[in-house]
Amino acid sequence: MANAVTPVILGLLSLGSRSGYEIKATVDRSTRFFWAASYGQIYPELRRLERDGLIEGEDAPNGARPRRVYSLTQAGRDELLAWLRGQNVTVELRDESLLRLFFADALPDDDALRLIEGRRHGFQGALETLREIEARPGEDPPFVDLVLRWGLAYTEWETRWCAEQLERLRAETAQSA
């Protein structure tokens, strides 16, 4: 795959034709919890994939607004299947909140503890969003549901972990004061 957003685009187009805007909207309510993609990544990659023959675009204006709808070509489907069947497993986590916690010893204790409170709050919000997705009518395909269940379990765990660590660190700071 050419870059990190390529499998997202090919995968979403394997489910049906979409515009760049629709791809971004789908990412924002699905893969962004573990694999984000911005407009600044999506649109240049759509142009490259079309130029390389992996997708086809068709102009489909929406009123006065220009719009291009993309669909997967057979070459794009082959590329997606090769990636799906690949043996490389790369687990990469980019978590700015965790990076801040890593360096939080540079802060006064109250500021550092607020970082954990903010993290817990962020995960609580993500958990609420995932529960809303889970509660929507209709059934997801089995592996989409599998990833949703991973997200629910992970965010539930992370929310508990933050609360436990906040309690532990507050107790430790109280003892050392």
Cα(12)–Cα(116) distance, rounded to whole angstroms?
Answer: 34
User: Which of these three, 22, 54, 84, is where a domain ends?
Assistant: 84
What's the length of the chain?
177
Q: How many domains does the chain have?
A: 2
In a domain, 29, yes or no: yes
Whole-prediction pTM:
0.81
Residue 67 and residue 40 in one domain = yes
How far is 120 from 160, CA to CA, in rounded Å?
8
> Taking phi first (over 0 means left), then psi (-120 to 50 degrees means alpha), and beta for anything else, what does residue 53 get?
left
Under 8 Å between Cβ of 37 and 27: yes
> How confident is the model at residue 123, as a pLDDT?
96
Looking at 84, 119, 146, which one is the last position of a domain? 84
Q: Does residue 34 lie within any of the structural domains?
A: yes
Q: What is the pLDDT of residues 21-74, one digit of tens each?
A: 999 999 998 898 888 899 999 999 999 999 999 999 999 988 888 899 999 999
For residue 174, name the pLDDT band (cuts at 50, 70, 90): confident
Residue 160 lies in a domain: yes
Burial of 172 (0-12, 13-18, 19+ CB in 10 A): exposed
**Residue 90 in domain:** no
Over residues 81-137, the pLDDT tens digits come to: 999 999 888 888 788 999 999 999 999 999 999 999 999 999 999 999 999 999 987
Range of the domain at 69: 6-84
- Do 100 and 172 belong to one domain? yes
